[in-house]
C-alpha cells in the first residue's frame, strides 16, 4: 500500500491540514481535513443542499436532480466534472444520508467510469470555524485502470477539487455568516463589505 501525505498550515483562508491518498488492489481512498472559517451551521447548510450543487459549485456540478427524498435519505443524479475541464463530464448516481448539523454519508456509482465509492463528509466545531473531515473510497471495476486513476487523482483531481469545492464553500459559508469577502464592494444599506 502506497500512502502520500501533504501538510499545509492552518490559516483563516482555505487550507488543507492533511491529505492522504492510499492505494489498494482495487481502488484508492482519499482522506482530507480542512479548516473553514465559518460556523458549522452555515457549512452544513451549503454542503447538504444537493439541489443547489450547480449554483454553489459550478466547476464541479453541471446539474443535480434529487430523484427521491425519504427523510434524511436522498437519491440524486449528478452530471459533474471529473478531473477538470479537459476531461469528460461524468454521470453519477448518489444515495446520500444526511446527518443533520454534522455532514453526510453517501454511496456513489459513476456510470461514465464504471466506479463505485463510499463518501463521508463530517463537520466539527474548532476554534474560529469548522473542521471538515472528508473521506472517499473509490473502487474500480477494471483493476488495470487503478494506476492511471490513482495518478489522475494525485496530480489533477485533488487539486482541482480543492479549488472548485473549498474556495466556493468558504465564500458561501462566510456570506451566510455575514462575513465580508476580500475585495467585495461595500453594501450601502448596511455599511458592510
Query: Measuring CA to CA, which residue among 114, 111, 109, 94 is closest to residue 48?
Result: 94
Q: What is the CATH number of the domain that holds 154?
A: 3.30.530.20
- Domain presence at residue 167: yes
- Domain presence at residue 187: no
Instruction: Provide the pLDDT for residue 133.
Output: 95
Supply the range of the domain harboring residue 9: 3-177
Query: Measuring CA to CA, which residue among 6, 56, 82 is closest to residue 166?
Result: 56
- Domain presence at residue 44: yes
- Domain presence at residue 162: yes
Residue 30 binned pLDDT confidence (cut-offs 50, 70, 90): confident
**Entry pTM:** 0.76
Instruction: Provide the pLDDT for residue 153.
Output: 66
Instruction: Provide the pLDDT for residue 139.
Output: 83
Instruction: Provide the pLDDT for residue 154.
Output: 64
Which grid coordinates are listed for 64?
443535480
More confident residue, 67 or 60: 67
Residue 190 binned pLDDT confidence (cut-offs 50, 70, 90): very low
Query: Measuring CA to CA, which residue among 136, 168, 162, 163 is closest to residue 43?
Result: 168
Q: In whole numbers, what is the pLDDT of the chain averaged over residues?
A: 79
Total domain count, the chain: 1
- Domain presence at residue 144: yes
- Domain presence at residue 192: no
- Domain presence at residue 186: no
- Domain presence at residue 13: yes
What would the pLDDT profile of 134-181 be if each residue is shown by its tens digit? 998 888 776 666 667 666 666 666 677 778 888 999 999 999 888 755
Residue 15's Cβ-count burial label (10 Å; 0-12, 13-18, 19+) is: middle
Amino acid at each position: 500500500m502506497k500512502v502520500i501525505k501533504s501538510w499545509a498550515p492552518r490559516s483563516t483562508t482555505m487550507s488543507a491540514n492533511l491529505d492522504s491518498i492510499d492505494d489498494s488492489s482495487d481502488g484508492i481512498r482519499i482522506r482530507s481535513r480542512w479548516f473553514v472559517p465559518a460556523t458549522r451551521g452555515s457549512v452544513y447548510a451549503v454542503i447538504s443542499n444537493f439541489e443547489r450543487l450547480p449554483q454553489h459549485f459550478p466547476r464541479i456540478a453541471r446539474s443535480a436532480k434529487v430523484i427521491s427524498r425519504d427523510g434524511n435519505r436522498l437519491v440524486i443524479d449528478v452530471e459533474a466534472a471529473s478531473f477538470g475541464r479537459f476531461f469528460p463530464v461524468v454521470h453519477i448516481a448518489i444515495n446520500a444520508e444526511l446527518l443533520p448539523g454534522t455532514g453526510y454519508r453517501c454511496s456513489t456509482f459513476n456510470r461514465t467510469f464504471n466506479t463505485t465509492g463510499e463518501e463521508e463528509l463530517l463537520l466539527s466545531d474548532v476554534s474560529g470555524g469548522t473542521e471538515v473531515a472528508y473521506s472517499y473510497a473509490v473502487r474500480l471495476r477494471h483493476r488495470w485502470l487503478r494506476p492511471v486513476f490513482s495518478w489522475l487523482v494525485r496530480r489533477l483531481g485533488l487539486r482541482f477539487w480543492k479549488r472548485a469545492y473549498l474556495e466556493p464553500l468558504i465564500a458561501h459559508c462566510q456570506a451566510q455568516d455575514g462575513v465580508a469577502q476580500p475585495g467585495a464592494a461595500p453594501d450601502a444599506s448596511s455599511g458592510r463589505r
